[in-house]
Amino acid sequence: MKIQYTNNQSLKKLNLIPYFETEESIVFNEIKLSKSVFSGKKDSLHLLEMDENLFLFVGLGKEPDYKIIKTTFRRLSAKQILHFKEEAKLFLSADFSNENVEAIISGLWLGTYQLGHYKKDKKQHPLENDDFDFEINSALEVKNTVIKGLKIAKAQLETYHLVDLPPNKITPKHLADWAMQTGKNYGIEVTVIGAEQAYILGLNAFVSVGKGSANESQFIIMDYHPTNAKKHIGLVGKGITFDTGGLNIKTAGMVHMKCDMAGGAAVLGSMLLIADLQLPYRVTAIVPACENSVDANSFLPSDVIGSYSGHSIEIIDTDAEGRLILADGLAYLIKNYNPETVIDIATLTGSSVATFGYECGALFSKNDKLLKQLQKSGDITGERLWPLPLWDVYKSDIESEIADVKNYSGKPVAGAISAAKFLEFFTENHVSWAHLDIAGVSFVDDEFAKTKHASAFGVHLITNFIENL
């Protein structure tokens, strides 16, 4: 797609004209719309055909937030696809802020995404065509904002692919190859540790989880280290490419468990975006990637395993595997890189879904400033977070008779909190650590597909957080 910026009011075939809700009638060139026909109300769309031109008036409501604008434009490009042919022109009045424009552009490009990856007759969205002529007529200078909106969408689209493609394609090796290739393209140093080397290094919790799978586990490290780095941030993302539950096999919802690497994918997508935006921060990311499968070699409930931190772990339930690989990811990151702030993100517990549903992720941190900053970024990007406690009264949930710690309390209560307490144990009381449980928000049911699909929750949130440090 080619983008042009003009002051030229001449009309093209498809004209996109967003409006905030107003009390006055709308006048656009020679077109006058009375209030009863179109007033810019949220979710309203007015289509008008004149000669060679099609006018799409897009209602945004009175004070739409970032997510509303983004979703409106995603809907527009996804559902009005037939009107996108070879060219389009977007009209932006001076009422549109940079954030508004960023959301519009990101939304339009996210709308190109289609789930039918393996369909024989899969059609490209016209906007994906290199020759598509996209013209922006804006009262204000928007070039940098447009570029940023496109970069955000690109990283989120990559993340959609990683989560939505099936687990026989998105294996740990595939994630490692993706990281290697992205590292090459964007100047990020990438190291991948295979299962054998991981065992030698003492990443025993990580190795235990992947033991029952024919797809070799991969411990992925991406280190983005610009020369002008102001601070050092560490990220860890759960990369379970499929979660059968292991020998404690899942009896419900297994079919959705390709989404269990969505935290890892959010970290990978964030790294792409952070490097693409050339943010002046060092960011070291770890994605332990494994498949939790059933096999003679699988780890067993009641096994006692080691971990990178040196602590022993009693396995109560092999389905509580995410916390095991994160324990090694966190310990490895802190010991070898010691970043000033550490954030992990994971589809960790059904309990967080039961608590917050599909609109909000669970946030844990004893560092109030960090907690508030993350929440604020989520409010801005439309990826909302709400805190749950890390009080020490919950510590007894992970106390084991036989080992230093156990991976499950055995009780069907406070699951998200006890999982967070387990992770905390492996952070060596890091003063600036936060945990995001995104089990309910990373794989969603919405208007954009008939089946559950990726939301890329975390990509924009993490990037916005780092950008505003």
User: Do you know the residue count of the chain?
Assistant: 469
437 lies in the site for Zn ion, by CB under 5 A = no
Q: Which of 362, 439, 456, 462 contacts ligand BES by CB under 6 A?
A: 439
Nearer to Zn ion, 269 or 322 (CB): 322
Longest alpha-carbon distance in the chain? 80
Q: Which of 350, 376, 384, 404 binds ligand BES (CB under 6 A)?
A: 350
Q: Which of 135, 164, 223, 260 binds ligand BES (CB under 6 A)?
A: 260
Task: Report the alpha-carbon distance of residue 291 to residue 216 in Å, rounded.
Answer: 8
Which listed range, 24-32, 129-137, 312-320, 394-402, lies at the site for ligand BES (CB under 6 A)? 312-320
Q: For ligand BES, which residue of 322, 361, 382, 458 counts as binding (CB under 6 A)?
A: 322
Rg (CA), the chain: 24
> CB of residue 412 vs Zn ion: minimum separation in angstroms?
15
Identify the helix (H) or strand (E) that includes residue 444. Answer: strand 443-444
CB of residue 69 to ligand BES, shortest distance in Å = 28
Contacts of 334 (CB under 8 A, 6+ apart): 234, 342, 427, 428, 430
- 144, with CB counted inside 10 A (0-12, 13-18, 19+), is exposed
Catalytic one of 75, 323, 406, 421: 323
* Residue 415 interacts with, from Zn ion, ligand BES, none (CB under 5-8 Å by kind): ligand BES
Please list, in sequence order, all residues whose beta carbon lies within 8 angstroms of the beta carbon of residue 246, skipping any fewer than 6 positions away.
209, 212, 292, 293, 294, 298, 299, 318, 319, 321
Catalytic residue selected from 35, 41, 67, 250: 250
Sole binder of ligand BES in the list 113, 415, 455, 459 (CB under 6 A): 415
By the rule CB under 5 A, 344 interacts with Zn ion: no
The count of other CB atoms within 10 Å of the CB of residue 233 is: 24
* Buried b / exposed e along 168-189 (16+ C-beta atoms within 10 A): eebbbbbbbebbbebbeebebe
CA nearest neighbour of 221 among 285, 302, 306: 285
Complex with ligand BES: residue 142 or 289, whichever CB lies closer: 289
From the list Zn ion, ligand BES, none, pick the one residue 268 interacts with, judged by a Cβ distance below 5 to 8 Å according to partner type.
Answer: none
CA atoms of 324 and 243, how far apart (whole Å): 13
* 344 is a contact residue toward ligand BES (CB under 6 A): no
Which strand (E) or helix (H) includes residue 115? none
Interaction of residue 347 with ligand BES, rule CB under 6 A: yes
The reply to whether 377 sits near ligand BES by the rule CB under 6 A is no
237 is written with which tokens?
């993302």
| 75 noted as active-site residue | no
| Three-class DSSP category at 50 | strand
**Judged by CB under 6 A, which stretch of 138-146, 161-169, 294-302, 345-353 contacts ligand BES?**
345-353
Q: How far apart are CA 463 and CA 358, in angstroms?
A: 21
Residue 319 touches ligand BES, criterion: CB under 6 A: yes
Among 321, 344, 383, 397, which residue interacts with ligand BES (rule: CB under 6 A)? 321
Q: Is 260 in the site for Zn ion (CB under 5 A)?
A: yes
* Pick 349 or 455: Cβ nearer ligand BES: 349
Tell me which residue has tokens 């994630």: 175
Smaller CB separation from Zn ion, 264 or 322: 322
Residue 102 or 319 having the CB closest to Zn ion: 319
293 belongs to the binding site for ligand BES (CB under 6 A): no
Strand partners, 464: none
Token readout for 266 is 């959010």
Amino acid at 357: G
Question: What separation in angstroms does the CA of 117 have from each of 124, 162, 258?
Answer: 11, 12, 15
Report how far residue 452's alpha carbon sits from residue 457's, in angstroms, rounded to the nearest whole number: 14
Active site residue 250: yes
Question: Quick one: what does residue 164 bind among Zn ion, ligand BES, none, with the CB cut-off 5 to 8 Å set by partner type?
Answer: none
351 binds ligand BES per the rule CB under 6 A = yes
Shortest Å distance, C-beta 458 to ligand BES: 14
- Choose one: 35-43, 137-145, 280-288, 342-350; the region binding ligand BES (CB under 6 A): 342-350
243 near Zn ion (CB under 5 A): yes
Residue 353 binding partner per list Zn ion, ligand BES, none, with a CB distance cut-off of 5 to 8 Å that depends on partner kind: ligand BES
Q: How far is the CB of 240 from Zn ion (least distance, A)?
A: 5
Among 158, 164, 319, 424, binds Zn ion (CB under 5 A): 319
For Zn ion, the closer of residues 411 and 450 by Cβ is 411
With 0-12 / 13-18 / 19 or more C-beta atoms within 10 angstroms meaning exposed / middle / buried, residue 115 is middle
Please check whether residue 285 is in contact with residue 175, taking contact to mean a CB–CB distance below 8 angstroms: no
Catalytic (active-site) positions? 250, 323
Note the residues at the interface with Zn ion (CB under 5 A): 240, 243, 260, 319, 321-322
